[in-house]
Amino acid sequence: MTTKKQDTGKLGEDVAIKYLEKHGYKVLERNYRKPWGEIDIIALENSAEMIGNSSANSSAIADSSAIAERNKLPQHCRTITALLPKQLPQLVFIEVKAQNRYFEWRPEENVTFHKKRQLSKIVATYLKEHRTSEKQDWRIDVLAVKLDFEAKNAQVEHIKNIMLN
């Protein structure tokens, strides 16, 4: 049996997943747990631009206006442009804070000093466990989800790149 707080948290995470997918994130994991902490969502931002992603490459090739613009460049610029690496996806660790919209505190204010220390440890563990390259960009975001149970809707505020200190 779950508590009302757990139900609110799960619903907030479900809303967060839909929000992230709508905004182009690829969710990798949900509720990544270790004895010393937990992170709600791990996702990739800019995942459609991953090198080797055939759907991203084919859509870029099919865009005739982009090709026409590129062909207006001198030959040496076209060669340099073709050699530039595509933007790598950024790894994003996401803490979801959900609550009733009538609550007197803002959800993101519940990311306490203790939680930030936990996030720091859990991120380090994830990066090491998955042998993530040192070149991989990553950040920690907070998704503050305000739930209106009466109107059956939610408001999401995305706070990117929070500070851990």
Where do the domains of the chain lie? 4-48+87-159, 52-83
What CATH number is given for 4-48+87-159 in this structure? 3.40.1350.10
Structure tokens at 114: 């203790």
Residue 118 is predicted with a pLDDT of: 92
* pLDDT, position 132: 92
Q: What pLDDT shows up at residue 67?
A: 45
What does pLDDT average to over the chain? 79
Residues 3, 36: Cα–Cα separation, whole Å: 22
Q: What pLDDT was estimated at residue 1?
A: 76
AA letter at 26:
K
Tens digits of residue pLDDT in 82-109: 555 556 789 999 999 988 877 777 766 7
Q: What is the pLDDT of residues 103-123, one digit of tens each?
A: 777 766 778 888 889 999 999
Helix (H, G, I), strand (E, B) or coil at 113: helix
Alpha helices in 23-155 (DSSP H): 54-62, 64-71, 75-83, 113-129
Query: What is the mean pLDDT for each group of 10 consecutive residues in the chain (165 residues)?
Result: 83 95 96 94 77 34 42 58 65 92 72 89 95 92 89 90 81
Q: How much is the pLDDT for 142?
A: 93
With CA atoms as reference, report the closest residue to 98 among 34, 1, 28, 19: 19
In the numeric block, the tokens 């270790």 are attached to 34
Whole-prediction pTM: 0.73
